[in-house]
Chain A
Amino acid sequence: MPDPLSENTTYLDLHVHSADGSDDAGGTVEGYLKWITARRAHGLRIDGFVVTEHRRFDPDRDYSALAARYGAIVLRGVEVETDIGHVLVFGVTPEFLSRFDLTSISLPSEEVFRAAWETGGVAVGAHAGRPRIGCVEHVDERGVTLEGVHVLEALNGGSNDYENGRAFDLADARGLRAVGGSDAHFVSALGGCLTRFDRAIHTVDDLVAALRDPAAAYTPIYLEDTAEGVEPRPRPSGTPVLQPFSSGQGTLGGDVIEYDRSVVGREVLVGSFEVTRELIASFCQALDERNPLYTDEAFAAQGPHGGIIAPPGIIQAVRMGPAPNPGVKFGSSTMMAGQLHEYYLPVRPGDTIEGFAQVREVYEKTGRSGRMVFVVRRTRFANQHGEDVAALQTTSVHREMRPVGEAE
């Protein structure tokens, strides 16, 4: 295993989200470290990563002891949201934190870049080629000057080749430096894109010093290209092969969102339904599901449950009565942004399932469709014996969506 502490080259993934601090991430820091071990066993080179949670920096967190157990480096930064898209900040100091409310989704970008520099850190334009949340579009459409910007994340694991190509094009045109980060939200994405530094990086101070130094040698790189003897892939092209679909949605800032805070945390009965063989059969038909545990009485009778059970997904497919509503006054459209399903006990034909729902949280952020307000609801499902059989946590997103083809 390469020891990052003794090398003069360091491969760091500069953009990683974890379940410790990012609402939409499933990867844990230890999970990422185990994945590094597994990737190294395949001859790939990754020395560590920087945890950059969305809109949040906890000064007391420290992953260095955990990282050392895996022979890796784990540093910390933050990903904030500004009027020219998302921005990674490395070298986050108490003074930097005192100047901004990190939870804001439309921080003034010039001030963020300047404050990061003045407080001894550095800010980097994140996933620069991504619509809305990367700076390329803001430069193209609004003539943003990129005052105080030195570095762009041109190679981002969550962007497609076209988006990354546009970011490289902008970096070239403006004489900006480029770095790479995976933007991993899940373990297996870690390190997909990273940055090779031709020097040892052990600490955030080392990282910041490299990024602030115009003469420092560093370059974005794909993880597969870190294997010995591999010819690096050419940088992606900013010329689209197929015109990507974009309906040009959304704005980034605006007024404070109003909603009814009194419903948050109050659990209410939202309905019940009986699990029938017919319901199970229709669910299986919709999914071409032929698992005999759900479809074959004779097989299921011999199986672990002594009879047919319902497929795990069936509870979240059946809608109950309306869930508690915080009445968010924003957006023309509501979509589902994510779901967490938890399964505790099997559900059988003849069971009567009651759902108890509550609103857990309301918050906002920005994405490729502009400003978004999220509502997190959790429903607990209990059977006729009073046992909890499953839970479903749903995050829905309110957005402003215009019909396709209508001008901005």
Chain B
Amino acid sequence: MDDALTQRYFEEVAVGDEFEEWQQPTSPHVAAFTAISGALAGDGRFHDHAAARAAGLEKAIVPGPMSASMLTRLVTDWMGPLGRVLSLDVSYRRPAYHDDRLRCVALVTDVNGDGDYEGTGEGAVHLDVTMESERGDKPVQGTAIVVMPRRG
């Protein structure tokens, strides 16, 4: 992935800019993620279609923190190594299922003009972040705030 190596600068960002990444979390991806966390690994809804249906879900789902991490990755890949994530605030609105093809999309909603983030010389950028499934659902919606370096 060369994208994360490319540095983007604050001056190149404008309100309305949009960028995306596609993700398709498979059952092995979910298992690898939940293995990091004991509690998630023990929850059948994340691994087993029958357990998910018993809990009122259509089939096995992707854990919320994993979806959040996909959206974080979308943003960090776009920014480049000198950018920093300050915050990510997401709502899990509908389930994302194993093997769903998920479009992670971000939209720049505000740039802080001449602002100088806490005297660092960086500029703050506000983003709306959304995960969309091919069925037309938006399983995750939220916002992110990042700071990016300036050129020169």
Chain A positions within 8 Å of B, measured between CB atoms, are 24, 26-27, 31, 34-35, 38, 42, 160, 185-189, 242, 245, 247, 249, 279, 282-283, 285-293, 299, 303-304, 311-314, 316-319, 333, 335-343, 369, 401-405
A186 touches B54 (CB 8 A): no
* 10 nearest A-B residue pairs (beta carbon): A401-B56, A313-B69, A286-B32, A26-B143, A286-B33, A336-B64, A290-B1, A291-B4, A187-B109, A319-B37
B15 touches A404 (CB 8 A): no
A341 touches B36 (CB 8 A): no
Q: Mark B130-152, 1 if CB is under 8 A from A, else 0.
A: 10000111000111000000000
**What is the bound-complex CA distance between A187 and B106, given in angstroms?**
12
* Least distance between B60 CB and chain A CB atoms (Å): 13
- Pairs across A and B, CB under 8 Å, 15 listed: A26-B91, A160-B136, A187-B126, A187-B143, A282-B32, A286-B29, A286-B35, A286-B66, A292-B81, A303-B81, A304-B81, A311-B73, A342-B87, A369-B56, A404-B56
Q: Residue of A at shortest CB range from B16?
A: A38
Extra A-B contacts (19), CB below 8 Å, given A31-B126, A292-B5: A26-B89, A26-B141, A31-B109, A160-B137, A188-B107, A242-B135, A247-B58, A282-B32, A287-B29, A312-B85, A313-B68, A317-B69, A318-B36, A336-B63, A338-B89, A341-B68, A341-B87, A403-B54, A405-B53
Residues from chain A with a CB closer than 8 A to the CB of B38 are: 319
From known contacts A31-B126, A311-B72, A313-B68, infer whether A343 and B37 are also in contact, taking CB-CB under 8 Å: no
B143 touches A186 (CB 8 A): yes
Residues from chain B with a CB closer than 8 A to the CB of A403 are: 53-56
A340 touches B88 (CB 8 A): yes
Question: Which of A289, A317, A340, A401 interacts with B73 by CB under 8 Å?
Answer: A289
**What is the bound-complex CA distance between A404 and B49, given in angstroms?**
11
B88 touches A341 (CB 8 A): yes
Residues from chain A with a CB closer than 8 A to the CB of B20 are: none
* Least distance between A334 CB and chain B CB atoms (Å): 10
Residues from chain A with a CB closer than 8 A to the CB of B23 are: 288
From known contacts A26-B142, A317-B33, infer whether A343 and B90 are also in contact, taking CB-CB under 8 Å: no
* Least distance between B143 CB and chain A CB atoms (Å): 4
From known contacts A26-B143, A188-B107, A336-B64, infer whether A287 and B81 are also in contact, taking CB-CB under 8 Å: no
B92 touches A338 (CB 8 A): yes
A293 touches B72 (CB 8 A): no
Q: Mark B69-92, 1 if CB is under 8 A from A, else 0.
A: 110110011000110111111111
**What is the bound-complex CA distance between A285 and B66, given in angstroms?**
12
Q: Residue of A at shortest CB range from B94?
A: A368
- B32, B92, B143, most chain A CB atoms within 10 A: B143
* Least distance between A161 CB and chain B CB atoms (Å): 8
A290 touches B53 (CB 8 A): no
B35 touches A282 (CB 8 A): yes
**What is the bound-complex CA distance between A328 and B107, given in angstroms?**
37
Q: Mark B1-45, 1 if CB is under 8 A from A, else 0.
A: 100110000000001100000010000011011011111100000
Residues from chain B with a CB closer than 8 A to the CB of A312 are: 72, 76, 85, 88
A317 touches B109 (CB 8 A): no
Residues from chain B with a CB closer than 8 A to the CB of A338 are: 89-92, 142
**What is the bound-complex CA distance between A287 and B39, given in angstroms?**
19
Question: Which of A289, A293, A316 interacts with B68 by CB under 8 Å?
Answer: A316
Residues from chain A with a CB closer than 8 A to the CB of B142 are: 26, 186, 338
Quick check: is B121 within 8 A (CB to CB) of the other chain? no
Question: Which of A188, A287, A335, A343 interacts with B69 by CB under 8 Å?
Answer: A287
A245 touches B58 (CB 8 A): yes
- A245, A316, A335, A339, most chain B CB atoms within 10 A: A339
A342 touches B86 (CB 8 A): yes
Q: Residue of A at shortest CB range from B91?
A: A338
* Least distance between B147 CB and chain A CB atoms (Å): 10
**What is the bound-complex CA distance between A74 and B52, given in angstroms?**
43
Question: Which of B72, B77, B82, B128 interacts with A313 by CB under 8 Å?
Answer: B72
* Least distance between B123 CB and chain A CB atoms (Å): 15
**What is the bound-complex CA distance between A402 and B56, given in angstroms?**
5
**What is the bound-complex CA distance between A24 and B89, given in angstroms?**
9
**What is the bound-complex CA distance between A336 and B68, given in angstroms?**
11
**What is the bound-complex CA distance between A76 and B73, given in angstroms?**
37
B143 touches A316 (CB 8 A): no
Quick check: is B65 within 8 A (CB to CB) of the other chain? yes
**What is the bound-complex CA distance between A38 and B65, given in angstroms?**
32
**What is the bound-complex CA distance between A307 and B76, given in angstroms?**
17
From known contacts A38-B15, A279-B36, infer whether A333 and B77 are also in contact, taking CB-CB under 8 Å: no
**What is the bound-complex CA distance between A303 and B79, given in angstroms?**
14
**What is the bound-complex CA distance between A94 and B45, given in angstroms?**
46
Residues from chain A with a CB closer than 8 A to the CB of B15 are: 34-35, 38
* Least distance between B10 CB and chain A CB atoms (Å): 15
B87 touches A340 (CB 8 A): yes
B141 touches A186 (CB 8 A): yes
Residues from chain A with a CB closer than 8 A to the CB of B137 are: 160
